[in-house]
Structure 1
Amino acid sequence: MATPTTNMKKMNKKVSSNYIPDHLSFSILSKLPVKSLKRFSCVHKSWSRLTQNPNFINIFRNNLISNSHPLYRGDGDVSLVLNQFLGSYDWNIYLISGKNFEKKVKLDLPLPFHLPQLGVIPIRVVDSAINGILCIYDYEGVHTTTVLWNPATEEKIVIPPGHAEFKSEFMTQICPHGFGYDRVGDDYKIIQHVNYYTIDDENHLLHLEDVMPDPFWEIYSLRSNSWRKIDFDMPVIYSIFNSAVYFNGMCHWLGEANTLLVSFKLCNEAYFITPLPLEDTQHDDDFEVNLTMLNESVAIITNWKNTTSFQISILGEFGVKESWIRLFNVELLSSIQGLIGAGEKGNIFFRREDGELVCFDLTTGLIEEIGIKGESYWCQMAIYKKNIHLIGDIGN
């Protein structure tokens, strides 16, 4: 016959065999994607508060950075593309590589972008180079030309016009929102928005329904070399400065005064809208929100203009505002004038108040100068990996 003492020993043994020490559970859970981490939070009461635990967050972000892809600092033939508009008939586009960013090669833009009459038009790079291909376009209120360009082979493909109408009664604005590779269809695609407007005597934008067509979205396929209208009512990009990224078949951009994320899937043309984790006081022109990728996770970098601190949060699940996790609160020694890009190895690139371009390494907390002054008018950084295949050889 079992005694109370015997029963208590059996119970203690059962409890102890099911108990997982915090350090072990932290180690296991910190290796999970954010989406899985959120789902596991219902298993145990203490796990539901993991994202508020400083010790766990420290382990989680260290794993995130250490497992990131080696895209920077002399790893193979991967470089950075620095795109600078100097304001008057002058462009600087560099390939930057090397352990200390010592290798700088100035690129010559393809036709028609280096023609003198186009010299004053800002040229944008749509996010990063996809398979060594840069999608570049001119934009100054009205967009006119888009080109797919491989700097390694100097090959270019001028994208044909879409369905936009051009008439003297109104202005036409065409704004690319994303360029990427559709793995399912084995195709390169561009998504853009077409809008029409006019300006009143006080320089206000107007949309007159009885005069001009309705705005619309359209998507380009390199395989068919054609545009197709898509009937979606998605928020448009709020700013063309550092607010669009591509990864793994999805184009992302910030809309609605930088208060929400729009994610567009190229293969099936589905989209998701995710509110950003911002307070009401942060909906201010002096508060900056920049979009980037951090080790295969969509991330936002936020800061108040001309301050020395910034914050980095990553998204766990599309469409779920609560799945954002703030990972970094960083304090710099000098104020930031602008974010120009980010990498997947814990590198964030800024322009300092003295105009110098610097790289902040999240893994070490160190800042290195790139050796180039950044232009305040327009300065952009993108990832570039050399590819000697022709643009038409889709999927290489």
Structure 2
Amino acid sequence: MAGRSGTSLKNNYWPEDLLLSILATLPAKSLLRFKCVSRHWQALIINPHFMEQHLEKQQKKDYPQLIFASRASKPDMDMVLESMAIVDVEVGDGEGTKTRKGLKRSSSNICHLQSANYFVSNSCNGIICLFGITNVFLYNPGTREFRIVKMQKKEFSPDNSSVDTFGIRIAKETNKRAYNDIFLAVRVFPLYQLVGFGRDQVTKECKIIRLFTPNEENPIHECEVFTLSSDAGASWKGLGEVAYFIRAAQLPVYLNGALHWILDERHANPSEVIVSFDLHTEKFQAISHTSCFSVVSDRSRLHHMELLSFRGSLCLVEGKYDWSSRQLNISIMNQSNGIWEKLFSINRGLMNYRFPLAFPIAELKDGTFLVLRHKKNLEIFDPESQSDSEVLIQHEKSVDYYAYSESLVPLYGVPLVN
């Protein structure tokens, strides 16, 4: 880039505060290109303070980015990660032009994981975390950087033949797959280990948290932490046994520097429903839930219980199904006083008992929610009218969606290249 006189654009042409403010609104892909403008621009973009400013701007956007995860068609059974953006689309009809929401696929960050055994964990600050039997796979769709971290200790597993070997393959634009052929049968989880990914709000370090059961006789989890850094010799740090009975087979939720899981119904204190792990202090702490809808201590009677994050707060989803009706109740925790309040419900009559209700994924600026129905259709749900609007995308087979914000947060790994 050059100024009017043909000289390079440096700080004397652009006030640095203005330049940083403009750059922070741009997608990560553009910023990676702009690092080549000059050494000055490169130094600005890789500065940790700018990375935080960029992440904050991206998180305040009206619509989140989406990653959908699915399995490719047989025989390879690879896992496919693809990024999509929510966009406003003008649609004409007999009454004039209207604006509706649509999806725009990204053609530059499609990633295939060659693994027969994988589990999706969670996303944090633009980074997606997946794990297998022996490895954790981290991927930043914005920068296309990935990193594979080998686990240190082995958890108990009744299936000793289960082995994963993460491999990477990029789907080039000239070799795109037919997405109506990809599927993911159900959301599956290992029973003997939980993996979460988050960021220390004080040091800004990214950490992998692993809870695992070392043997069948002792159902208590042990915990170990891996801190991402440029140190090639970095290793897991053991924290010993966890004092809380954490429920198996669930996704963690990252929020405000902590990871959250639901406690098992056999936990000693029935009023403690959720446990959080502070990524800075590396300590566990239980959270009570004064239920808005039901007797939470009788968790065994609930068909479904899961955690979400909306509006910068922790949300608890309680699902009740019987032969006459089905309902999801979503409550939100007030960050200032810890009191839980009802956010909204999704009510449905008996339609198809085999399928779960539409599960909320992200809230949009108009108060509606993105929901995944039957693990195939991405739709928009209005809590006030209890109605569904247009279907944004429809698959013949099941997929999982995850909301994230683009970031420049480094993994100290390797970039994906075609």
How much has 1:144 moved relative to structure 2?
1.7
Q: Residues of 2 paired with 1:317 and 1:273: CA distance?
A: 15
Q: Which residue of 1 aligns with 2:154?
A: 164
SS of aligned partner of 1:256: coil
Q: Which residue of 1 aligns with 2:224?
A: 218
Q: Which runs of 5+ in 1 are unaligned?
A: 1-68, 198-205
1:79 equivalent to 2:74? Answer: no
SS of aligned partner of 2:150: coil
1:337 equivalent to 2:352? Answer: no
How much has 1:364 moved relative to structure 2?
6.9
SS of aligned partner of 2:411: coil
How much has 1:293 moved relative to structure 2?
1.1
Q: Please say if residues 253 and 309 of structure 2, whose CA atoms lie closer than 8 Å, have aligned partners that are also in contact.
A: yes
1:109 equivalent to 2:111? Answer: yes
Q: Residues of 2 paired with 1:166 and 1:353: CA distance?
A: 32
Q: Residues of 1 paired with 2:257 and 2:348: CA distance?
A: 34
TM-score using structure 1 length: 0.61
Matches within 5 A, 1:167-206: 175-197=193-215, 206=216
Using a 3 Å threshold, how does the CA distance of structure 1 residues 71 and 357 change in structure 2: closer, same or farther? same
Q: Which residue of 1 aligns with 2:401?
A: 381
Deviations 1:90-124 (A, max 9, x none): 534332222323213475436xx32xxx2x32331
1:371 equivalent to 2:393? Answer: yes
Deviations 1:158-192 (A, max 9, x none): 11332337899989976344211112122111111
Q: Please say if residues 272 and 319 of structure 1, whose CA atoms lie closer than 8 Å, have aligned partners that are also in contact.
A: no
Q: Please say if residues 156 and 213 of structure 2, whose CA atoms lie closer than 8 Å, have aligned partners that are also in contact.
A: no
Give the CA RMSD over aligned residues: 3.9
Q: Residues of 1 paired with 2:359 and 2:80: CA distance?
A: 15
Using a 3 Å threshold, how does the CA distance of structure 1 residues 270 and 208 change in structure 2: closer, same or farther? closer
1:133 equivalent to 2:131? Answer: no
Matches within 5 A, 1:244-323: 244-257=252-265, 260-276=273-289, 277=291, 278-279=294-295, 283-284=299-300, 287-305=303-321, 307-316=325-334, 323=339
Q: How many residues align?
A: 292
How much has 1:292 moved relative to structure 2?
0.5
Q: Which residue of 2 aligns with 1:122?
A: 118
How much has 1:268 moved relative to structure 2?
0.9
SS of aligned partner of 1:159: strand
Using a 3 Å threshold, how does the CA distance of structure 1 residues 341 and 311 change in structure 2: closer, same or farther? closer
Q: Residues of 2 paired with 1:169 and 1:179: CA distance?
A: 25
Q: Please say if residues 71 and 343 of structure 1, whose CA atoms lie closer than 8 Å, have aligned partners that are also in contact.
A: no
Q: Residues of 1 paired with 2:296 and 2:410: CA distance?
A: 48
**Aligned amino acid, residue 118 of structure 2:** P
Q: Which residue of 2 aligns with 1:11?
A: none
Match of 2:377 among 347, 356, 361: 356
Q: Residues of 2 paired with 1:386 and 1:317: CA distance?
A: 25
Deviations 1:222-256 (A, max 9, x none): 13532111134243542444x42101111111120
Q: Residues of 2 paired with 1:308 and 1:165: CA distance?
A: 36
Deviates more, 1:263-272 or 1:283-292: 283-292
**Aligned amino acid, residue 328 of structure 2:** F
Q: Residues of 2 paired with 1:329 and 1:218: CA distance?
A: 37
Q: Please say if residues 206 and 227 of structure 2, whose CA atoms lie closer than 8 Å, have aligned partners that are also in contact.
A: yes
Matches within 5 A, 1:1-16: none
SS of aligned partner of 1:101: strand
Deviations 1:34-67 (A, max 9, x none): xxxxxxxxxxxxxxxxxxxxxxxxxxxxxxxxxx
Matches within 5 A, 1:18-97: 70-73=60-63, 78-85=64-71, 89-97=77-85
Q: Residues of 1 paired with 2:157 and 2:66: CA distance?
A: 40
Using a 3 Å threshold, how does the CA distance of structure 1 residues 349 and 94 change in structure 2: closer, same or farther? same
1:207 equivalent to 2:217? Answer: yes
Percentage of pairs with the same residue: 19
TM-score using structure 2 length: 0.58
Using a 3 Å threshold, how does the CA distance of structure 1 residues 296 and 357 change in structure 2: closer, same or farther? same
Q: Which residue of 2 aligns with 1:41?
A: none
**Aligned amino acid, residue 109 of structure 1:** C
Q: Residues of 1 paired with 2:105 and 2:66: CA distance?
A: 9
